[in-house]
Structure 1
Amino acid sequence: MTFPGGTSVSRLAVYSGAACADGLEGGTPHLHTASTEAYVVVGGRGALQTLDVNGLRETELSAGSTVWFTPGTIHRAVNHGDLQVVVVMSNAGLPEAGDAVMTFPPEIVADAERYRAAAALPDGDSAEIEAAVARRRDLAVEGFLRLADAARAGDPAPLQRLYDSALALVRPKAAAWRGIWERTVAQETARTAGILDALDRGDGAHLLESALMESPAEERWGMCGHLRAHDVAHPVVHAPSSAPSSAPSSAPSSAPSSAPSSAQSG
């Protein structure tokens, strides 16, 4: 069984240090093509810059702030001081499978090979990965600032072109994503429907299948910051009457690996 509702959860320490071209510290602007993302701020200060068909917006973030944004909303986390966030993503597995598209300049996003090269992270040591993360962030900020300037000028065409390019990038993956979705979100929804039917009949057999599940944190380089992600597709199952077991649940074997990826959310 996956995390409740077929979602995923991670803890995000938004990048700080070297500033971008506009003098701000923070993460890589990007959008999701199929998934909704939520931020629950647990510490520090910052802002969320967003751009969609309704225009450019900046939302202040501090401990207790809770915001979420739907597919197509470009978002950029800005760090004003130790910004710490719990990220909840719908459609667990899809962001890791490439649902996120970064806002590189249009000539890169329109070319699948150039996009993949710009988004990829090396297999080298931490310093090499950190340098690559900074390069792709700066490239995405460059594209984001162009989009923001166009939005301020009342020109929607660059944003539409980004959406068209994002669609072209992810369209070949849609069939595989459906399989992930069916084994997570759809399966969880069907399971709840079955439980409601059972309760209506006075059948509580599912209560005898109760169990505690746990997913240890895994350190990753995310788009917006350092991630402590959790593999919600393969939890440790603590059976009620036995010692904890590390056997995988019935979640799909095609779940994403824990290796760093250019498509991580957050």
Structure 2
Amino acid sequence: MTSSLSLPAGIGMSRVHVYSSQAPDGQCGGTPHMHLACSELYVALEGRGAAEFLTPDGVRRVDLNPGDAVQFTPGTVHRLITGPEDSLRILVVMENGHVNEEGDVVFTFADSDLADPDRYARLAAADTPDEARARRDRAVRGYTELVEAWQASPALGLERLRAFHGRAVGLVRGRAVAWPRLIEEGPARMLAELTARARAVAAGDTGHLERATVTPLPAPRPESMVPRMCGTLWPYRP
């Protein structure tokens, strides 16, 4: 039985300061996007805001005040909203930290952008705050089209959402070939370790207790936070 320095259950965990700049629809916040394999959890830490969601059930908005939390599954288009004077800071927990970094995200660009993988890759790249803002604005315009389709007709909205799902899978399926290995090395390995510890306790074995460790994680440093999808981000890493 091994000892791991991964976060519990192989999760990814980050602190995010949500973008407070205004998007094309007049709201302030992050970039609408979707994950194809991983579930996610938001925990509000400071400020006030909301999370907007689009699923096959339609459009939903959940307010986020300090202490509030909301979780959602793959296939959920999501977006964080905040205010310029009381900007939202959240803790993000990802079902698998490495899968998201290896391509488990698609932005809600217009269908013409999604149909061309090379064009999509260029538009999705963002290394500077200005590039991240341009990416956010393009995704908000595509997201607005999806929402307006739902407002016009649930049947039309579902049709457009399913079309987006299809485009998304087409864009990332090549990278998804590596995801099972990442899951095996992350949460699957952690689950195996947990199972081994449980069996050790049932057998009266104290060996793993004698290998107990404490690993402090560095605190977020504002100057080291980088522009990402929902805002500036600091990942917690052991």
TM-score, with structure 2 as normaliser: 0.91
Q: How does 1:88-107 map to 2 (within 5 A)?
A: 88-107=93-112
- Whether 2:13 is the aligned partner of 1:6: answer no
Q: String of CA shifts for 1:16-41, please: whole Å, max 9, x gaps.
A: 13x11211010000010011111110
Mind listing any 5+ residue stretches in structure 1 that lack a counterpart?
Answer: 123-128, 236-266
Amino acid at match of 2:134: R
Which residue matches 1:183?
185
Aligned with 1:60: secondary structure?
A: strand
- Aligned partners of 2:232 and 2:36: how far apart in 1? 22
Q: For residue 29 of structure 2, give the secondary structure of its aligned residue in structure 1.
A: coil
- 2:234 maps to 1:228: yes
2:207 corresponding residue in structure 1: 205
Identify the range of structure 1 (213-222 vs 103-112) with the bigger mean alpha-carbon deviation.
213-222
RCO higher in structure (CA 8 A, sep ≥6)? 2
Structure 2: which 5+ runs fail to align?
none
Cα distance in 2 for partners of 1:121, 1:133 equals 5
Cα deviation 1:118-164 (Å, max 9, x = unaligned):
01124xxxxxx111011000000000000001112221111111100
Please give the secondary structure, in 1, of the residue aligned with 2:149: helix
Question: SS state of the match for residue 228, structure 1?
Answer: strand
Superposition deviation, residue 58 in structure 1: 1.0
User: Which one of 35, 42, 50 corresponds to residue 47 of structure 1?
Assistant: 50
Paired with 1:140 and 1:188, the residues of 2 have a C-alpha distance of 35
TM-score by length of 1: 0.82
CA distance in 1, matches of 2:27, 2:106: 21
Q: CA deviation at 1:176?
A: 0.9
Counterpart of 1:84? 89
Q: 2:113 aligns with which of 108, 112, 118?
A: 108
Q: Distance in 2 between matches of 1:214 and 1:92?
A: 18
Cα deviation, 1:202-237, whole Å, max 9, x if unaligned, reads: 001001111112343452211000111123xxx2xx
Q: Percent identity?
A: 37
Root-mean-square deviation (Å): 1.1
Q: Aligned equivalents of 1:110 and 1:158: distance in 2?
A: 14
CA distance in 2, matches of 1:196, 1:83: 39
The answer to whether the Cα contact below 8 Å between 1:49 and 1:76 also exists between their aligned partners in 2 is: yes
SS at match of 2:17: strand
- 3-state SS of the aligned residue for 1:82? coil
- The one-letter code sitting in structure 1 at the alignment partner of 2:228 is G
Q: Alignment partner of 2:25: what SS?
A: coil
Distance 2:102 2:193 in 1: 24
Taking the aligned partners of 2:171 and 2:103, their CA distance within structure 1 comes to: 9
Q: Is the 8 A contact 1:220 1:229 kept in 2?
A: no
For 1:135, the equivalent position in structure 2 comes to: 134
Give the number of equivalent residue pairs.
225
